[in-house]
Structure 1
Amino acid sequence: MAIAVVASATLASKIAFMGWGLGVESLDFTGISGHAAMSSTLYPVIFWLLASGRSPRPWAWAIAGAALAVAIAWSRVPLGAHSLSEIIVGLGLGITASACVLRGAQMPAGMVAARIHVALLAIVAGATVPILMADLHTHDMVKATAKALSGRERALERDDLRSYSSPIKRHQ
């Protein structure tokens, strides 16, 4: 459920900008960073699952997972893929989702093996899906969806944030 909520919010923010120009110019915000949001949703939980029952401090491992997510998120800034505001919102959303999952994650000790299997399955899926679906260009799919929903001829891009008259920009 947490993954679906985070992914939906991220997708909605991207479509809102690409289709209708809903962004915040002063923050250079054009949509939630998917890398930041998804890595901070997944890695703290995966690390906690792997450590739970094996380590006296599974929460320390969840924090290590969050640190990995921060590193992944930060890597997007020098690449010019996202602004700092997009990274911060993505991390905030993902860490909140992880915290909600981990807060309700107290399982009986006999479930340790099941937790590890779930974590390993998530790792295997995360490693194989990009290989199996290498030709799937999700950014292009988001752009096409934004164009179709908004009726625009082309999806807006970061450079358009400064020139497009967005309702959010007018209220700054």
Structure 2
Amino acid sequence: MPAGVAAQLAGASLLVLAIALLPLPWALTGRKPGIPSAVALLATVLIVMGVGLAALRSGLEGTVVSPVGSNVTIWLWLLVPPLLFAGVAVVSRGWASGAAAVLLILASPLVAFVTYAIGPWDAQPWWEATSGLLTCGAGACVLAEAMRRPARRRDATVEPTVVSGPPTVP
């Protein structure tokens, strides 16, 4: 049950995450997403924003606020992000991009939900921090990929190299 400042911080962090997800397919694959990827990306961003706004409102109002379309949103929250990240992992352009996508799958709500079954969540403080650490690790992999392969400029032209030397005698 969301409570106070923790819910506000969780909601704000989910809203920031939703914004950060927008350029993710371009960053990890180096190309524009296709129609299915774009639809999954838009759905993921809207779902994360919906859950983030609900958590933020819960903290501000001091009572539990369900996301819009609560049951459907929760199921989509569990299933759509891992599918998007798996698709990105398959078409990623390097080891760091693939690692980032896999870390995001491990940080997804579905995996977190499954790992809660290991024991009582209230007996394990900072249990949710695991998802945050995995997300930070994915961000570090995205940075490594960006430093490894700088973006190419479209307006750059290759100048021919002219080698001058003594004329050859036939």
Same fold per superposition (TM over 0.5): no
| TM-score, normalised by the number of residues in structure 2 | 0.30
| TM-score, normalised by the number of residues in structure 1 | 0.30
